[in-house]
C-alpha cells in the first residue's frame, strides 16, 4: 500500500498508453489511496492518430479539474463539436481496434534500431513505447564531414542532416540531453529506409 502525502500531487502524462510494447498500461490514478492526488493527462492524438483534432483531456479531483477548465477557457477556444464527438467515439472504443498501429510502430522501431546499429559511434537504447528513438551521439561529436562541416554538438548534427539531406531530427538539448538526438519513426517504412540511407551516406 502506497502511503499518501496529502500536499503532494502528480501530473501523469499517459498519452502513449496504447503504444506500449512491454505489456499492460499501469495508470497511477488506479492506485488506491492516492488516486485523488493524481492528475492524469491524456488525448487522442497519438494512439488514435487524431493529431489534427487537437483534443486532450484530464482526470483529476473536481476542484482541480474546474480550475484547469477556467484556465483553459482563457487561453484557447473550444474544439469543434465534430472533434469532440470523434474523440468520444475513439476513447470509448475497444483499445484492440488500434492494436494494428502499435504492431506497425514496433516493426518500424526494430527496423530503425537495426539501421542505426550499423552506424559506428551511436549508442542505442530500446524504447518500450511511443515512436521515438533517442540515440547518444557523443562519440560522433568533434568530427568533420566529408565536405568540411564540423559536428561539435547534436544541434550541429541535426542541422547538417536537415540542410544536406532533408532529414529532420531534434537535438537532445530540447530534452536536457545535449549528447543525444531524437528521431521519430512515425513515418512509412519507405521514408525511414531512405532517411537512414541519406544519413549514413552523408556523414558516416
- Express each pLDDT in 100-130 by its tens digit: 999 999 999 999 999 999 888 899 999 999 9
CATH at residue 47: 3.40.640.10
DSSP β-ladder status, 10-13 and 56-59: unpaired
Question: Are residues 144 and 71 located together in one domain of the fold?
Answer: no
CA distance linking residue 180 with residue 170, whole number of Å = 9
CATH of the domain at 170: 3.90.1150.10
d(CA 128, CA 42): 18
pTM of the model: 0.84
Give yes or no: residues 71 and 163 share one domain.
no
For residues 184 and 201, what is the distance between their CA atoms, to the nearest angstrom?
Answer: 20
pLDDT value at residue 121: 87
105 belongs to a structural domain = yes
Query: In degrees, to the nearest 5, what angle opens at C-alpha 144 toward C-alphas 201 and 121?
Result: 65
When comparing pLDDT for 146 and 81, which is higher?
Answer: 81
pLDDT digits (tens, 9 = 90+) for 1-26: 556 677 899 999 999 999 999 988 89
Last residue of a domain, one of 51, 76, 93: 93
| DSSP, res 138 | G
Residue 134 lies in a domain: yes
Residue 7, pLDDT score: 84
Point out the domain boundary residue: 93, 112, 127.
93
Range of the domain at 80: 10-93
Whole-number mean pLDDT of the chain? Answer: 91
Cβ within 8 Å of residue 64, ≥6 positions away:
9, 39
Model confidence over 51-86: pLDDT tens digits?
889 899 999 999 999 999 998 888 887 788 999 999
Sort 185 into a burial class: Cβ within 10 Å, 0-12 / 13-18 / 19+: buried
Closest CA to 118 of 55, 196, 7: 196
Does residue 2 belong to any structural domain of this protein? no
Number of domains composing the chain: 2
Pair (30, 68) in one structural domain:
yes
16 and 108 belong to one structural domain: no
Are 120 and 169 part of one and the same domain?
yes
Please identify, among 50, 69, 93, the residue that sits at the C-terminal boundary of a domain: 93
- What is the pLDDT, as a whole number, of residue 145? 84
Q: Kindly state whether residues 179 and 104 are assigned to the same domain.
A: yes
Phi, psi torsion values for 43, nearest 5 degrees: -175, -175
- CA distance to 19, 39, 81, per residue, from 87 (Å): 17, 20, 10
Amino acid at each position: 500500500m502506497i502511503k499518501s502525502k496529502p500536499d503532494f500531487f502528480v501530473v501523469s502524462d499517459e498519452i502513449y498508453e496504447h503504444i506500449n510494447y512491454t505489456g499492460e498500461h499501469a495508470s497511477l490514478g488506479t492506485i488506491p489511496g492516492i488516486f485523488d492526488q493524481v492528475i492524469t493527462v491524456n488525448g487522442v492524438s497519438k494512439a488514435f492518430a487524431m493529431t489534427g483534432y487537437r483534443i486532450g483531456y484530464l482526470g483529476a479531483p473536481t476542484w482541480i479539474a474546474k480550475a484547469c477548465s477556467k484556465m483553459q477557457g482563457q487561453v484557447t477556444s473550444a474544439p469543434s463539436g465534430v472533434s469532440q464527438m470523434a474523440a468520444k467515439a475513439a476513447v470509448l472504443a475497444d483499445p484492440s481496434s488500434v492494436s494494428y498501429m502499435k504492431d506497425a510502430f514496433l516493426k518500424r522501431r526494430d527496423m530503425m534500431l537495426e539501421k542505426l546499429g550499423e552506424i559506428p559511434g551511436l549508442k542505442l537504447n530500446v524504447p518500450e513505447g511511443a515512436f521515438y528513438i533517442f540515440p547518444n551521439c557523443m562519440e560522433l561529436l568533434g568530427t568533420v564531414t566529408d565536405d568540411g562541416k564540423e559536428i561539435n554538438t547534436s544541434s550541429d548534427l541535426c542541422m547538417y542532416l536537415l540542410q544536406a539531406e532533408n532529414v529532420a531530427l531534434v537535438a537532445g538539448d530540447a530534452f536536457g540531453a545535449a549528447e543525444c538526438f531524437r528521431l521519430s519513426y512515425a513515418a512509412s517504412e519507405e521514408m525511414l529506409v531512405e532517411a537512414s540511407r541519406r544519413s549514413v551516406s552523408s556523414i558516416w
